[in-house]
Amino acid sequence: MATDQRQADPNRTLDLLWDVQAPPTRGPKPALSLRQIVDTGIAIADAEGVAAVSMRRVADELGYTTMSLYRYVPSKTDLLELMVEHASVVPDIPPELTGWRDKLRWWATDTADIYRRRRWALDVPMNAPPMGPNQIKRMEQALAALDETGLSGGEMLGILVVLSGFVRGHAQLATTLADVEKRTGVPQAAWDQAYGRMLTSFVNPAEHPVLARIVADESFDGYAEPDDEWLGDDFAFGLDLVLEGVARYIERRVSPE
């Protein structure tokens, strides 16, 4: 497995992402394509998680030697970057949407849906801000939605960071909860029951007055059976908070009192 530890070259990674790298000049005529390799890695990750992806495993699936893959993909880091880039096609924003808020709501929901379909993408470390064509298209969509607000470029980038962080954080939480039985061997219901016991047995008004009041008001009941494993109601509520915060910021920034 040591061959998977080859050092990545950020500029070579960039060329691979944008498909501007020179074709191999040595050896026999290429029998593989870069996209074949990437798609095989994605298929493995879809079925078994990103931990199962290695250059050797991809080569075995394709019927080639590990060394032959390095003619196309210089390192496992490059392979993972390419897998995330090609994990999903980025659709255009529906033309009927008007206003920055509706466009960003669509953008955030569509981004979350990508994580829902490709949960393994959350396990790929981020080595840099988005660099590939699909990711840059998604970045442009969000910035274009905000461009009508009158904010500066730096402010729009800051909002994009906040919104992206919310979506990714929600996806990580939802994925962790959805996979609890696979990870622990214990059904989700058993963990929920233990959590309920903690709330009723160990939370007390003397040490946790606010939490105890919320428990007594049965405010947790709405969380006992979420609408789906992706915690859709929580996502919608959190997204509303983020967008409302952006709206208030725009009001103060563009039309100060």
Alpha carbon of residue 106 to chain centroid: 15
pLDDT of residue 232: 78
- DSSP H or E run through 164: helix 153-178
Closest by Cα among 25, 135, 3 to 72: 25
Closest by Cα among 79, 78, 75, 77 to 6: 75
Mean pLDDT confidence for 41-52: 97
Cβ-based burial of 78 (10 A; exposed 0-12, middle 13-18, buried ≥19): buried
Lowest-pLDDT choice from 130-134, 189-193, 251-255? 251-255
* CATH architecture classification, 2-85: Orthogonal Bundle (1.10)
Q: What is the mean pLDDT of the chain?
A: 90
Q: Where in the chain is the domain with CATH 1.10.10.60?
A: 2-85
DSSP-assigned letter for residue 65? -
> Which amino acid would we find at residue 231?
L
- pLDDT tens digits for range 145-166: 999 999 999 999 999 999 999 9
Distance CA 12, CA 129 (A): 16
Indicate whether 42 pLDDT > 50: yes
Indicate whether 188 pLDDT > 80: yes
Distances (CA, A) of 10 to 16, 76, 93, 102, 132: 10, 13, 30, 35, 12
- pLDDT tens digits for range 227-239: 566 667 889 999 9
Mean pLDDT confidence for 5-28: 80
Distance CA 166, CA 173 (A): 11
pLDDT band (50, 70, 90) for residue 3 = very low
pLDDT band (50, 70, 90) for residue 1 = very low
- DSSP H or E run through 98: none
Q: For the structural domain made of 100-178+226-254, what CATH number should be given?
A: 1.10.357.10
pTM for the model stands at 0.88
Distance CA 149, CA 204 (A): 47
- pLDDT tens digits for range 73-104: 999 999 999 999 999 889 999 999 999 999 99
Q: Where in the chain is the domain with CATH 1.10.357.10?
A: 100-178+226-254
